Amino acid sequence: MIEINNLTKSFGDNLIWRDVSFTIQDGETLAVIGKSGCGKSVLLKHLNALLYPDSGEVVIDGQCVFDLDYSELRIMRQRFGILFQGGALFDSINTFENIAFPLRYFTNKNESDIKKEVEKALEMVNLKDAGKKPTSALSGGMRKRVGLARAIILKPDYLLYDEPTSGLDPQTSDEINELIVYMADSLDITSIVITHDMHSVLSIAEKVAFLDDQKLSWFGDIEEMKKSEHPPLVEFITASEYKIKA
């Protein structure tokens, strides 16, 4: 379980959000939505202490991540897999090596086991034959899939997705959404998805957190969101051109 308590963050004089609090239960899929620049990705990077807040805490299984020393933090971070917006693939090595990278450094697996695990991960993201490709030869959708394969290779407890469908065509976006649902179901993983794509939210999310006006403007489950009359949320959904039938 991840508890976010009274989190406040600013960069210099620029307040990003204040007093954000919500809880993510194990096994849930939460979508964090909001306009571009509202600090969704900043919030995501607080969950495993890639960024530190001005005040507040992120508590994972009773332990505040900001209280951990660097060696404890590195162990905790291995419980997270992150799919970054652009994939964040290491461009000096090929696709196979990108996925094998965490296995080589954090496990004692031999080469044949690493090969098996990487091939299995590639198969899960429908990129069975892409292992030898240099990352520069991958399309946007493929980069996200490879990033996802790398994120799940150490079997994390929490999977964080930063704008997984941004910049993708509708068909590829649907495939990524299906993958997110598949990962959550097959790996019994807790997922937090940062997005402003309402189609994606309706496909994958169980809970929704809406950031607006430098605060957590609304939080609830997907069915509540469909019925909500909270004006900023309704405006955001309407602007997304998706008519939600209650």
Partner 1 sequence: MNALKQLGQYTLLLYQALRSVTEFSTYRQNLFSEFVKIGYQSIPIIMLVGIFTGAVLTLQTAYQLDTDLYPAYIVGSIVAQSIIIELAAVISGLVLAGKVGARISTELGTMRVSEQIDALESMGFNSVAFLVIPRIFAGILMFPVLYIIASTLGIIGGLVAGAADGILPAAEFMKGGRLFFFPEDVVFGMLKSFVFGFVITSISCFKGYYAFGGAEGVGNATTQATVLSCIYILLADFVLAAILL
Residues near partner 1 (CB under 8 A): 45, 48, 50, 70, 74-78, 80, 82, 84-86, 88-91, 101-102, 105-106, 154
DSSP 226: H
Nearer to partner 1, 49 or 204 (CB): 49
- Nearest distance, CB of residue 101 and partner 1, angstroms: 8
Nearer to partner 1, 37 or 70 (CB): 70
- Nearest distance, CB of residue 76 and partner 1, angstroms: 8
Give 56's contacts (C-beta < 8 A, 6+ positions apart): 4, 5, 6, 7, 8, 19, 20, 21
- Nearest distance, CB of residue 50 and partner 1, angstroms: 6
- Nearest distance, CB of residue 163 and partner 1, angstroms: 11
Nearer to partner 1, 163 or 212 (CB): 163
Question: What's phi and psi for 28, nearest 5 deg?
Answer: -80, 160
CA distances from 193 to 33, 165, 208, 245 (A): 8, 10, 9, 23
Alpha-helix residue ranges (DSSP H) falling in the chain: 40-47, 70-77, 95-106, 111-124, 140-152, 170-186, 198-204, 222-227, 231-239
- Nearest distance, CB of residue 245 and partner 1, angstroms: 37
Which residue type does 49 have? Answer: A
Nearer to partner 1, 158 or 219 (CB): 158
Asked if residue 246 lies in contact with residue 225, where contact means CB atoms within 8 angstroms, the answer is: no
Nearer to partner 1, 73 or 244 (CB): 73
Nearer to partner 1, 154 or 244 (CB): 154
- Nearest distance, CB of residue 122 and partner 1, angstroms: 18
Taking Cα atoms as reference points, which of 112, 182, 109 lies closest to residue 145?
Answer: 182
